């Protein structure tokens, strides 16, 4: 009889622990419509980096273009919705992390919401890949590139062609 009472107390304690801990272990409420889409790096050697990421890591090169200053940018696709964006390092940008690209269901509404909260963010504009883009900085100075991909954007075309 004693083992039944002990087992019942153990089971009750376990269930109580599960119910009490579940809210604490729950993920934070996600901002609707925002997902990490890409990260950018400054590459010390573009050819060597493209070769590494395509041949060693197995990423697919999906397109290249030049930014407004004429710098080459290479997009590599990691999975259907995730990319690596590379541009050359230079005297102003050491090799390493450049920025995080955050895809928004509605970038104009996202930017308006940030601006309403006092966050400085660029007005949405059309980028070189035909994506809608805005940039803002987090408190650490990390650039966050906020985007939406209309059907004509190079990113959306790459995502839609993923097999």
pLDDT (0 to 100) of residue 32: 64
Confidence (pTM): 0.78
pLDDT (0 to 100) of residue 149: 95
Rounded-to-integer distance, Cα 62 and Cα 77, Å: 6
Answer yes or no: is pLDDT of 18 > 70: no
Condensed to tens digits (0 to 9), the pLDDT of residues 101-157 reads 999 999 999 999 999 999 999 999 999 999 999 999 999 999 999 999 999 999 999
Q: What percent of the chain has pLDDT over 90?
A: 78
Sheet harboring 132-137: ordered strands across?
60-66, 72-79, 82-88, 34-43, 96-104, 143-148, 132-137, 125-126
Residue 33: strand, helix, or coil = coil
pLDDT (0 to 100) of residue 8: 46
DSSP calls for 77-101: EEETTEEEEEEE-BTTB-SEEEEEE
The winner for highest mean pLDDT among 24-28, 32-36, 88-92, 159-163 is 88-92
The residue behind tokens 């955050």 is 102
Q: Which domains does the chain have, with CATH numbers?
A: 34-160 (3.10.180.10)
Shortest CA distance to 31 belongs to which of 138, 148, 110?
Answer: 110
Which has more confidence, 69 or 7?
69
pLDDT (0 to 100) of residue 110: 95
Residues 136 and 99: beta-carbon distance below 8 Å: no
Shortest CA distance to 69 belongs to which of 84, 88, 50, 85?
Answer: 88
Mean pLDDT of the chain: 87
Which has more confidence, 131 or 29?
131
């Amino acid at each position: 009889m004693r083992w039944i009472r002990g087992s019942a107390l153990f089971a009750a304690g376990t269930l109580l622990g599960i119910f009490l801990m579940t809210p604490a272990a729950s993920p934070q409420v996600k901002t609707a419509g925002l997902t990490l889409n890409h990260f950018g790096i400054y590459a010390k050697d573009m050819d060597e980096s493209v070769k590494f990421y395509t041949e060693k890591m197995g990423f697919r090169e999906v397109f290249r273009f030049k930014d407004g200053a004429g710098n080459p940018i290479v997009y590599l696709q990691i999975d259907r919705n995730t990319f690596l964006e590379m541009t050359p390092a230079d005297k102003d940008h050491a090799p390493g992390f450049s920025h995080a690209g955050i895809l928004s269901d509605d970038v104009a509404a996202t930017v308006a919401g940030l601006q309403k909260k006092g966050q400085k963010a660029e007005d949405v504009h059309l980028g070189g890949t035909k994506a809608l883009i805005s940039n803002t900085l987090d408190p650490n100075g990390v650039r966050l590139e906020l985007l939406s991909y209309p059907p004509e954007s190079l990113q959306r075309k790459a995502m839609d062609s993923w097999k």
